[in-house]
Amino acid sequence: MPSAQPKAGATPQLTLLLGGLAAFGAYFAMYAFRKPFAAATFGDVDGWHFAIDYKTALLIAQVFGYALSKLIGVRVIAEFGRQGRAKLIFALIGASWVALVLFALVPAPWNVACLFLNGLPLGMIWGLVFSYVEGRRVSELLGAMLCASFIISSGVVKSVATLFLQAGVTESWMPAVTGAAFLPVLLLSLWWLERMPLPDARDEAERTVRVPMLRADRTAFLRAHGLSLVLLVMGYVLLTAIRDFRDNFAAELWTAMGYGGAAAMFSASELPVAVISLAGLAALMLVRDNMRALLAMHGIIILGALFLGLSTLAFQAGLLGPLPWMILGGAGLYLAYTPFNAMLFDRMIAAIGKPGNAGFLIYLADASGYAGSVALLLFRSLVAPKMDWLRFFIGISYATAVAVGVLTLLSAVGFAMRNRAARAESRTPSL
């Protein structure tokens, strides 16, 4: 696979759009190796005799691997250069597929470890793919296209996985078969990403030069902006936990609402979510002032939290049916969740004005976020194992909406105050 990229220069818009589509395709394909098993219920499994149900154990094992990968990625992604990215992406996804094959071959309970091995390499993929699109004047648009992949792909992959199950593929082999079906999409996307031009001079002038961040650079950044990051990451932990729960137990939620076994429901709820939640984020590329764009993203996160809470309230009041609620609640959830994966930290680097890369911040948040996801799964299994899936999801939706709104507001106030102080200092004449 070629690794040489075109040199930086004036980049045609069509080329950038095709690059955004390639980033979308690469991460879309990755989901076919990560999420298909969530379409199965794994009701009665021979060899499983533990208090935690089998599917929850699989999810926890995979998330542990994924979270460990994020911790490793805080350093690896921050320091990784431009060479060899596509080859590394392909190798990591290939390793995850081998783990899915082992999952089908190894009997329970030992095959739970295969899901840990499946998640371990996949946690690096986002940072490697995002490095192709960050630091550009149109990064919001490209980032929105990339983020659409994890919103749409989860539903589409589970729909394809359900069709394989209905065709007679066993629950143990279905994940590996689904992943293999998306291999052509992965190869084509990586081939084009390697031909995507580097950021040009105007990109670097407006969005800051993107360079690897060594340990000293990362430490200095955290000392200067640690409080705001802590507030944002606390909110992101909650958003990741509920987003993963909604994603992993979509089959159980749809069953509780009377749509069990309907493969089309996974895609029908997620396609509108992608359009609603990403259109506004992409439009932020029109905001040239980086600090204003950063604060606007805080506002979008708060708006998403309101959507999540109010749509859930409307569903409980009987004003929304199951599908409209899943669409509007999902749109709110992803309005709040998506900025953390691309645009928020990309603009933060640009607003601060020091060379660096957004991958470091994304992985710092992700490592914390997936710890929250594991904690929620354990809480559901050990503390509230008999609570109805739908009732549990409604409860955490309310809690997340309130907490994320408050934490994000405090972070926005902090950034606004520091920006005002910096402007006042710049206007003060030196003696």
The string of pLDDT tens digits covering residues 266-322 is 666 667 777 776 776 777 777 778 888 899 999 999 999 999 999 999 999 999 988
Q: Span 220-236, mean pLDDT?
A: 86
Give yes or no for residue 3 having a pLDDT over 50. Answer: no
- Amino acid 283: pLDDT: 74
* More confident call, 58 vs 135: 58
Confidence class for position 410, pLDDT limits 50, 70, 90: very high
φ, ψ at 356 (rounded to 5°): 180, -160
- Amino acid 33: pLDDT: 95
Q: Span 144-148, mean pLDDT?
A: 81
Confidence class for position 87, pLDDT limits 50, 70, 90: very high
CB-CB contact of 129 with 193 (8 Å): yes
Give yes or no for residue 200 having a pLDDT over 90. Answer: no
CB atoms within 10 A of CB 258: 8
Min mean pLDDT across 38-42, 59-63, 390-394 is at 38-42
Enter the tokens of residue 61: 């094992």
Handedness of CA 178, 179, 184, 189 (dihedral sign): positive
Min mean pLDDT across 60-69, 159-168, 280-289 is at 280-289
List the one residue out of 346, 342, 366 whose CA is nearest residue 148: 342
Give yes or no for residue 60 having a pLDDT over 70. Answer: yes
Which residues touch 345 (CB under 8 Å, ≥6 apart)? 358, 361, 362, 365
Indicate the DSSP class of residue 46. Answer: T
Confidence class for position 12, pLDDT limits 50, 70, 90: low
